Amino acid sequence: MAETKAKSIKCKQAGCSASTDGKCLEGLSPDACPHCSIIEDDISEDIVVPDIVEAIITPDKEIFHNVHRGEALELSETSSITNSSLTRLIILAGLSEAGKTTMLASIFDLFQCNSNFCGYIFAGSKTLIGFERRCHHARIKSEREIPVTERTKSSDSKVFLHLKVKSKEKIPTDLLFTDISGEIFKELNNSAIESKNFELAKRADHFALFIDSDQLSNLTNRNIAKTRSIGILRSLIETGMLGVNTYIEVIFSRWDLLQGKSDVELHLKFVESIKEKIIKKFANTHKNIAFFNLASRPTNLTNFYFGYGVVDIFTDWVEKSPFITDIKTDTSIEVKNLSTREFSRFTY
Amino acid sequence: MKISTENNYVLIGLPHSGKSTFIAALWHIFESEDLEDSLIIKGLPEDSEYLNKLRDTWLSYKDFERTKVENKHHITLTVTRQSDDVISELRFPDVSGEMYMIQFENRKLDFEYLKMIQTASGIILFINPDDVIEPQLISNVNTCIGNPESSKNVDEVKNWEFNDAPTQVILIDLLQMILENIVKPIKVAVVVSAWDVIINVQNSNPSNWVESSLPLLFQFLKANDSQLKHTFFGISAQGGNYSEQTSEFQTKSPSERIIVQTEMEKSNDITLPIKWLLNNE
């Protein structure tokens, strides 16, 4: 009777399907997983092989091991990052086409094209493909003549982009950015219930509100842009979703377009009125409010450079967190209130 | 006589990155014993047909055919330094660069490769300067030629495909796949192949070239140095351009046409990356 040796997987972990399809719940190879054991079976010719034969690994049968997808992450997928380090969560908020995705793409391109970016070096990303997709339409490979950013879909639940950066002598910092459609923020402004459901904001280290300066310098549209944008902030603050220690960055995006208009002084005064209103309305409770001018991808590189204004904002994102009291000494970080493992319970 | 442990290495590189040419020239140096300080072969392998075939192509100044995905050649060599009696067994597969593109696109590693990286003590990462895809921005071009009014409609533009990704992004992603599946640090010898192309136009060393041409990869390696201890080599296993320099090559010994540049020195010793990987420091 001829005998052949084949291998089958047995796993002790509840819910693991490794014994039937070879896929380990932990994402490990069966020989690396502590719950799995690989058993050599003697299979003789006259043994009736049951259906489980599909799961038997023979040396010449290829079974693959999945690695990280590389695309933008769903909330449930971020735990592999948030469980391993105190991750900065940065919510990019604002109406549609306010420049949220463009800024993310620009940050990635600034790392790609320079030996460092504002003193930080790139240490990794679980979402390289997600970044690449967002950068594509501003690259020559897209065969476009002018750079654009594809509009973020409101139905997409894969909205987290990951970047790990490192500066001298410090341990790397993980950053998770949201790339959420402007339509969602419009809904938050329209509905207190929707705002109350936006629990992710409670965990945000930074809440970056993008206001389109091109709209602010259009006399017909500017009041809508102002009211709607401040309305997003108001909804989240009044429903208690934005913590008092959260860093709020109000970002006047596409700043180059405002500066290129006639009557610049008039538009600058309008911008100042927005700043005053935000300070007057929210600074009593939320102390960490700052304002920035941004031109992530200026149309005219004569007066503005690629990534204008990104440096100051990015540095704040990396260095400041309301959940860390002593950020200078990375080895003895004191975390306030929130365990990183709690991150995954938040929804948006 | 001291026998060291087995040394499994993984050769990583996209298509046409110079992996097979490197193996051909390496085999020649191992076996010919032309160079005084190089590693040499200690006993012929059981099957050297594939290595001899590669070497014949290299010795006759012919370009290599692309290695096919289904053809994995497992190479096992026993080598020793000429200066001492330490014997090392080297194991490395010659795999297709296409396999790495498939990994990048399909997000899966086959178990054979997984086992290989989990038992590897070193990686040789190949980059061909002629094939580097850079993240070229439209805005940089428009600065030079002026901003055009776009006349293209949506149908004429090209959507993103995996092979549009810059070379540095793909290589980082491949290294990240390895990092998430190993528990011990691993050494990485970064080999800039076709180095003759670089030294003909600029006075550069390999690390400076990687820093300026693939800055994201350079940053990634630097930031992860504790897990990916690395160094850089500029290597031209071919020695130059066959269509222009074959008659010049024919006047020299084959070993002399190999160019190897480290941060410190220039030589013909293509075994230097292996020596560095073998060194336990």
Confidence of residue A42 (pLDDT cuts 50, 70, 90): very low
The shortest CB-CB distance from A132 to any of B156, B165, B180 is to: B165
The shortest CB-CB distance from A122 to any of B104, B109, B220 is to: B220
Beta carbons of A40 and A73 less than 8 angstroms apart: no
CA-to-CA distance for A317 and A247, rounded, in angstroms?
9
Confidence of residue A57 (pLDDT cuts 50, 70, 90): very low
* CATH number corresponding to B2-148+159-278: 3.40.50.300
Which among A159, A151, A156 is positioned nearest to A200, based on CA atoms?
Answer: A159
A137 touches chain B (CB under 8 A): yes
pLDDT of residue B250: 77
Q: Residue ranges per domain, chain B?
A: 2-148+159-278
Mutation site for A-interface testing, chosen from B70, B114, B172, B228 by largest number of A Cβ within 10 Å:
B114
What ipTM does this complex have? 0.92
Q: What one-character-per-residue DSSP string does A278-303 give? A: HHHHHTTT---EEEEE-BSS-S-TTT
Encode pLDDT of B213-271 as tens digits: 999 999 999 999 999 999 999 999 988 887 777 777 777 888 999 999 998 889 999 99
In the predicted structure, residue A311 carries a pLDDT above the cut 70:
yes
Encode pLDDT of A138-157 as tens digits: 999 999 988 989 888 877 88
How does the average pLDDT of chain A come out, rounded? 84
CA-to-CA distance for B259 and B242, rounded, in angstroms?
15
Chain A residues in contact with B181 by the CB 8 A cut-off are: 29, 32, 65, 67
B69 touches chain A (CB under 8 A): no
Beta carbons of A68 and B109 less than 8 angstroms apart: no
Identity at B33, one-letter amino acid code = E
Residues near A7 by Cβ (< 8 Å), separated by ≥ 6?
A38, A39, A40, A41, A56, A57, A58
Give the DSSP letter of residue A37: E
Asked if B223 and A166 come within 8 Å (Cβ–Cβ), the reply is yes
CA-to-CA distance for B193 and B210, rounded, in angstroms?
12
The shortest CB-CB distance from A29 to any of B106, B111, B141 is to: B111
Q: Which residue has the higher pLDDT, B25 or B86?
A: B25
Closest-CA distance of chain A to residue B177, Å: 6
Share of chain A above pLDDT 70, in %: 75
CA-to-CA distance for A20 and A41, rounded, in angstroms?
15
CA-to-CA distance for A179 and A131, rounded, in angstroms?
11
Burial of A140 from C-beta contacts in 10 A (0-12 / 13-18 / 19+)? middle
pLDDT of residue A30: 61
pTM of the model: 0.86
Confidence of residue B201 (pLDDT cuts 50, 70, 90): confident
Domains and CATH numbers, chain A: 3-55 (no CATH), 75-343 (3.40.50.300)
Encode pLDDT of B109-145 as tens digits: 999 999 999 999 999 999 999 999 999 999 887 666 6
Give the DSSP letter of residue B150: P
Among the residue ranges A22-31, A104-113, A281-290, B101-110, the one predicted with the least confidence is A22-31
Mutation site for A-interface testing, chosen from B145, B155, B219, B227 by largest number of A Cβ within 10 Å:
B219
pLDDT of residue B42: 86
A63 touches chain B (CB under 8 A): yes
Residues near A137 by Cβ (< 8 Å), separated by ≥ 6?
A144, A147, A148, A149, A150, B157
In the predicted structure, residue A330 carries a pLDDT above the cut 60:
no
CA-to-CA distance for B89 and B228, rounded, in angstroms?
22
A141 touches chain B (CB under 8 A): yes
Residues near B73 by Cβ (< 8 Å), separated by ≥ 6?
B50, B93, B94
Q: Which of the residue ranges A32-36, A56-60, A95-99 has the most confident prediction, judged by mean pLDDT?
A: A95-99
